[in-house]
């Protein structure tokens, strides 16, 4: 098996030379065949730490040269393979997780269809959130995973799954771990906002009260940082999304404005 694995690794490494010739932004015939073979290899060796990084690096290169490869990866079953890799290497190898997160992010950001497939994968939002918590101080892992989670939170199913997975507790850990890594810190706030745009999770969060306290604490923190106004704006906007659910709309009323009449006044001037 060791020799076979070594041969597989060397073969996938040789694929990179083909990618350099891609210029159109779309995978050509040769690249398509290599992507299909790489997905098959990943499906077979998804728990081999020698094989997985090489395959992911190749997919990352292809997605950079030809972003539309995300459609091909989806059709070849990538939506099922990526979660398997996350499960196999969570808490084992952060570098592989970071690479997998990066490839997932590139696939999801360029393809609503891929987002739809990912959100249908049972337990995936919860898995990705757990992975973020386990690597809270590692922005290379957490950053791309948060971008995938934000994409999944656009769907009611994804937002509900995250809300039920103790989102606020996980986000507290992430905000503490990502202090100073402000882009990833901001993605945590963006995730909360995306989830709170859905009525069910928002009402549940308002009832618990934790998310409001968390956002107020963030707002107080970043308000003291003049160079982080964008984060303050994001926290404030999320609070506004929450407040819209908590304010009851005024009843509809028919406006009855008093009629105004024009009166002609006759002024009598008395001259002495």
Q: Please, what is the Cα angle at 259 between 256 and 260, to 5 degrees?
A: 145
pLDDT value at residue 17:
81
Kindly list the distances between the CA atom of residue 28 and the CA atoms of 56, 67, 108, in Å, as whole numbers in the listed order: 19, 12, 21
Task: Quick: pLDDT tens for 92-121.
Answer: 899 999 999 999 999 998 688 999 999 999
- Taking the C-alpha atoms of residue 192 and residue 199, their distance in angstroms, rounded to an integer, is 13
Share of the chain above pLDDT 70, in %: 86
Task: Quick: pLDDT tens for 74-90.
Answer: 999 988 999 999 999 99
pLDDT value at residue 24:
64
- Backbone torsions φ then ψ of 135, nearest 5 degrees: -125, 40
Q: Which residues of the chain have pLDDT under 70?
A: 1-3, 21, 23-25, 110, 245-272
- pTM score, whole prediction: 0.83
Task: Quick: pLDDT tens for 18-38.
Answer: 777 676 667 778 889 999 999
- Taking the C-alpha atoms of residue 137 and residue 128, their distance in angstroms, rounded to an integer, is 15
pLDDT value at residue 111:
81
Kindly list the distances between the CA atom of residue 141 and the CA atoms of 73, 160, 192, 230, in Å, as whole numbers in the listed order: 21, 23, 18, 23
């Amino acid at each position: 098996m060791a020799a076979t694995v070594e041969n597989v690794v060397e073969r996938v490494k040789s694929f990179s030379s083909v990618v350099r010739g891609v210029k159109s932004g779309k995978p050509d015939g040769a690249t398509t065949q290599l992507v299909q073979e790489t997905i098959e290899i990943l499906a077979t060796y998804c728990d081999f730490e020698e094989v997985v990084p090489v395959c992911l690096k190749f997919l990352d290169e292809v997605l950079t040269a030809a972003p539309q490869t995300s459609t091909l990866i989806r059709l070849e079953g990538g939506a099922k393979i990526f979660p398997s890799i996350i499960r196999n290497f969570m808490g084992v190898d952060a570098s592989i997780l970071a690479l997998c997160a990066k490839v997932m992010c590139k696939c999801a950001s360029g393809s609503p269809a891929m987002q739809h497939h990912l959100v249908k994968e049972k337990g995936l939002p919860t898995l990705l959130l757990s992975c973020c918590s386990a690597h809270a101080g590692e922005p290379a892992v957490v950053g791309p995973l948060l971008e995938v989670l934000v994409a999944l939170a656009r769907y009611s199913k994804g937002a509900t799954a995250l809300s039920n997975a103790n989102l606020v507790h996980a986000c507290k850990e992430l905000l503490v771990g990502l202090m100073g890594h402000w882009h990833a810190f901001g993605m945590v706030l963006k995730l909360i906002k995306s989830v709170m745009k859905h009525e069910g999770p928002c009402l549940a969060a308002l009832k618990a009260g934790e998310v409001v306290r968390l956002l107020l604490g963030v707002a107080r923190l970043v308000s003291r940082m003049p160079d982080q106004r964008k984060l303050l704006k994001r926290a404030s906007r999320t609070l506004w999304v929450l407040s819209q659910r908590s304010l009851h709309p005024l009843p509809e009323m028919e406006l009855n404005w008093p009629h105004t009449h024009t009166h002609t006044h006759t002024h009598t001037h008395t001259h002495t």
